[in-house]
Amino acid sequence: MATTLEAKYGTSNQTITCTITSLTNNSQRQSTAIDNTSNLFLDALVMVKTKSAGSATSATGSVNVYAYGTADGGTTYSDGASGTDGSITLTNPPNMKLIGVINVVANSTTYIGGPWSVAAAFGGIIPDHWGIVVENKSGATLDGSVGSSFYQGIQQQGV
């Protein structure tokens, strides 16, 4: 008898530690790496929430979200990421995969982007350790009170 494979969703709203509040324009922030060696998720859906500044937001502004990963157990990451929440300077063009863009085009507005697939950034297979980088291209410093990122893992089950 054939087995049907279905998606099995992990706990929703899992925090990704990435301090994006008050991120200045043209700056990037990396998250703490997510260790996938226990959960063995086949994919993770990422969402990012941010709020634009009270003034000077560009009518063509955006926030870019990139995925970084490793193939050596968390020692070396894409484009110089360290696996810890902190500032990072990406190469131009970045050596990370863009997983999503949030249009941030109005002042004092909360935006939510995603969900975006992490596995899609790596050819369909999620690395054993992965994280995100958030890049502010809004034209102004992001709001200091609203900024978070989270994910939901996806496994496979036979029924």
Q: What is the CATH number of the domain that holds 135?
A: 2.60.120
Residues β-bridged to residue 113: 48
pLDDT in tens, 39-69: 999 999 999 999 999 999 999 999 999 999 9
Residue 1: inside a domain, yes or no?
no
pLDDT exceeds cutoff 90 at 19: yes
CB 53 within 8 A of CB 109: no
| Mean pLDDT to the nearest integer, 60-81 | 96
Q: Whole-number mean pLDDT of the chain?
A: 96
Residue 56: inside a domain, yes or no?
yes
> Of all residues in the chain, what percent are helix, strand and coil, respectively (each to 5)?
5, 45, 55
Residue 105: inside a domain, yes or no?
yes
Residue 3: inside a domain, yes or no?
no
Range of the domain at 103: 13-158
Residue 138: inside a domain, yes or no?
yes
| Mean pLDDT to the nearest integer, 88-111 | 97
pLDDT exceeds cutoff 90 at 159: no
- The tally of domains found in the chain comes to 1
Residue 148: inside a domain, yes or no?
yes
Residue 95: inside a domain, yes or no?
yes
Query: How high is the pLDDT of residue 1?
Result: 65
